[in-house]
């Protein structure tokens, strides 16, 4: 008889201390007793990774990326060993592996390596022995046997890649929230857990500020059509399924609303309205690693115009310095910096087939006297920059008017 194979990934908060490791072990053993084959991917305990980074920083502020991977990969190695011990304590069979040991082969881009291939023979062998297989997340190894790490959200990627390679029936991502919500429940208590969401919507939400999963793992899951189940390690409730197509009874236009208050707006005033200026500015910004989100160039009534763009706050100093240099060069009158903004976005694949969604969003904002400063749209999302003080109000109104607090 074919046994169902589940890949389960437990994040750092799920294994933050001895008690939580024991709880994860109990959950895993319960699944095993039900007859599932299990591959468990684990992150480093709680803040271990941050502590190791801090230790390295005291020794060398610009550590070699190879050595950083050597250092950080120990975090997950500790987790897998402890989880195996906790499972043994409950009387079940389990064996732990590092990324290198199970043949997760990556390129040599240390600290952000890409998985090239996985040789899953060892895992299959152990599954045949009815053992629970525990794999260190976030890490791999080059063909030259150098240890690598996969960058932020790397453990999710390990789980997705293993689920694909092993043709798992399911890939469960355990975290400290119950799933993906229509919006942040701390802002709108009426926010609902979404039962099903498409890869594309989840990707859009991740890039717009939802922090449950990194875009990268979702992209890989989408590419190989690995169904993801995002759920909490603290409850037995089902979470959110991230899948290719959602078949809903109703016609859902907007699936979720995201809010990002970590941006700043920079405006370069009095720019000569001729080609080349914007090119120069955004080239310089890109060259110095500043990632620009939205760009608006005002319609020009005179020979002069304004260019506004948004960046994450962390890049503020760098971006303002570069903009001021460009301003000086072109004889521009002023550079304005506004940190008092927020980006509110609505996301939904339904937008593709529905007209007037943008108009409805703008209408809701207008009715509530919320001025829109910038707009940006994609196939399945619409984002507005507004004053920060209106952020929560905007989220609540949009959540209500698009019917997100009723459905389900």
Site track for its own copies across 2-41, x = CB under 8 A: ----------------x--xx-------------------
Looking at beta carbons only, is 82 or 322 nearer to its own copies? 82
Site size toward its own copies, by CB under 8 A: 36
Between CA 71 and CA 78, with CA 75 as vertex, the angle to 5 degrees is 125
233, 172 contact by CB (below 8 A):
no
**SS3 (DSSP) at 163:** helix
Residues 288 to 347: which contact its own copies by CB under 8 A? Answer: none
Q: Which of 26, 47, 53, 88 binds its own copies (CB under 8 A)?
A: 88
Least separation, in Å, of the C-beta of 258 and its own copies?
Answer: 37
Nearest to 310 by CA among 242, 376, 371, 256: 376
> What is the Cα–Cα distance from 142 to 137, expressed in whole angstroms?
15
Binding of residue 145 to its own copies (CB under 8 A): yes
Cα separation of 290 and 297, whole Å?
Answer: 19
Q: Which of residues 94-123 bind its own copies (CB under 8 A)?
A: 95-96, 98, 100-101
The strand order across the sheet containing 240-243 reads: 94-97, 132-136, 37-42, 5-10, 170-175, 228-232, 240-243, 196-198
Q: Please report where in the chains the tokens 């007859």 appear, as a residue.
A: 35
Q: Applying CB under 8 A, does 129 fall inside the site for its own copies? A: no
Q: Considering beta carbons, is residue 12 or 209 the nearer one to its own copies?
A: 12
Q: Which of 6, 147, 277, 307 binds its own copies (CB under 8 A)?
A: 147
358 binds its own copies (CB under 8 A): no
Q: Does 82 bind its own copies (CB under 8 A)?
A: yes
Write down the least CB distance from residue 343 to its own copies, Å.
38
Given 16, 47, 52, 375, the residue binding its own copies (CB under 8 A): 52
- CB neighbourhood size of 278 (10 A): 17
Stretch that binds its own copies, among 141-149, 197-205, 282-290, 314-322 (CB under 8 A): 141-149
Q: Can you tell me the distance from the alpha carbon of 312 to that of 208, in angstroms, rounded to the nearest whole number?
A: 12
Q: Does 143 bind its own copies (CB under 8 A)?
A: no
Tell me how far CA of residue 87 lies from CA of 17, 40, 83, 134, 407, in angstroms. Answer: 15, 11, 6, 10, 40
Residue 215, CA distances (Å) to 10, 152, 220, 221, 262 in order:
18, 10, 9, 10, 18
CB of 173 to its own copies, least distance (A): 24
Contact between 80 and its own copies per CB under 8 A: yes
Contact positions vs its own copies (CB under 8 A): 18, 21-22, 52, 55-56, 58-60, 63-64, 66-68, 70-71, 73-74, 77-78, 80-82, 84-86, 88-89, 95-96, 98, 100-101, 145-147
């Amino acid at each position: 008889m074919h046994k169902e194979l589940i890949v389960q990934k437990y994040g750092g908060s799920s294994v933050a201390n001895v008690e939580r490791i024991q709880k994860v072990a109990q959950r895993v053993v319960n699944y095993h007793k039900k007859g599932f084959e299990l591959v468990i991917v684990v992150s480093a305990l709680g803040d271990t990774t941050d502590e190791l980074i801090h230790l390295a920083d005291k020794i060398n502020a610009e550590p070699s990326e190879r050595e950083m991977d050597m250092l950080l990969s120990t975090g997950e190695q500790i987790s897998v060993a402890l989880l195996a011990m906790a499972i043994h304590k409950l009387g079940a069979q389990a064996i732990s592996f590092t990324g290198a040991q199970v043949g997760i082969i990556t390129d040599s881009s240390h600290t952000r390596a890409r998985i090239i291939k996985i040789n899953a023979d060892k895992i299959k062998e152990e599954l045949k022995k009815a053992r629970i297989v525990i794999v260190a997340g976030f890490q791999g190894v080059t063909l030259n046997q150098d240890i690598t790490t996969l960058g932020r959200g790397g453990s999710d990627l390990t789980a997705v890649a293993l689920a694909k390679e092993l043709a798992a029936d399911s890939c469960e991502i355990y975290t400290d929230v119950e799933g993906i919500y229509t919006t942040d429940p701390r802002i709108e208590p009426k926010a609902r857990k979404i039962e099903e969401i498409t890869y594309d919507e989840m990707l859009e939400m991740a890039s717009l500020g939802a922090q449950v999963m990194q875009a990268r793992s979702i992209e890989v899951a989408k590419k190989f059509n690995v169904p993801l189940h995002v759920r909490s390690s603290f409850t037995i409730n089902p979470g959110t399924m991230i899948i290719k197509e959602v078949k809903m009874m109703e016609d859902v236009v907007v699936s979720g609303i995201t809010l990002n208050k970590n941006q700043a707006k920079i405006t370069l005033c009095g720019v000569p309205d001729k080609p080349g200026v914007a090119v120069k500015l955004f080239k310089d910004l890109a060259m110095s690693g500043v990632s620009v989100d939205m760009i608006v160039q005002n319609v020009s009534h005179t020979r002069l115009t304004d260019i506004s763009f948004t960046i994450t706050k962390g890049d503020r100093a760098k971006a303002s310095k570069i903009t001021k240099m460009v301003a000086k060069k072109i004889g521009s009158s002023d550079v304005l910096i506004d940190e008092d903004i927020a980006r509110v976005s609505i996301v939904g694949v339904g937008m593709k087939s529905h007209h007037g969604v943008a108009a409805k969003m703008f209408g809701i904002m207008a009715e509530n006297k919320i001025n829109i400063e910038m707009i940006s749209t994609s196939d399945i999302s619409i984002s507005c920059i507004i004053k920060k003080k209106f952020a929560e109000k905007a989220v609540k109104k949009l959540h209500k008017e698009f019917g997100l607090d009723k459905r389900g």
